[in-house]
Amino acid sequence: MTKKYLTRRQVRERYGNVADITIKRWIDSGRIDEPMMIAGRCYFDEAKLDATDRRHAVAYQQAREKPAKHAPPPRKNNAETITK
């Protein structure tokens, strides 16, 4: 199977036309892997991006399943408030 590489433009489009600075920040933060440089141009390995997307999707699902760390206080019953 041959590897497929995406240009920076294709990566921006893949993630909803994000800005170049967003891609740079994602690389700096480790959210996505650094691109390889070929003839002075950046190319991203599509398989690595797919793996990263799957990893983030699993982490997102796990976070959604956990209860909130800071829940709002329970609401008082209006009947209790009126009788007092």
Give the model confidence (pLDDT) of 23-67 as tens digits: 999 999 999 999 999 999 999 999 999 999 999 999 999 988 987
Burial of 10 (0-12, 13-18, 19+ CB in 10 A): middle
Model pTM above 0.75: no
How confident is residue 69, by pLDDT bands cut at 50, 70 and 90?
Answer: confident
Give the model's pLDDT for residue 82.
57
Q: Bridge partners of 43?
A: 7, 36
Give the model's pLDDT for residue 17.
96
Q: How many CB atoms within 10 Å of residue 14?
A: 14
- Residue 8 · residue 28 · CB < 8 Å: no
Give the model's pLDDT for residue 21.
96
Domain borders along the chain are 5-65
How confident is residue 68, by pLDDT bands cut at 50, 70 and 90?
Answer: confident
Residue position matching structure tokens 């699902």: 61
How confident is residue 84, by pLDDT bands cut at 50, 70 and 90?
Answer: low
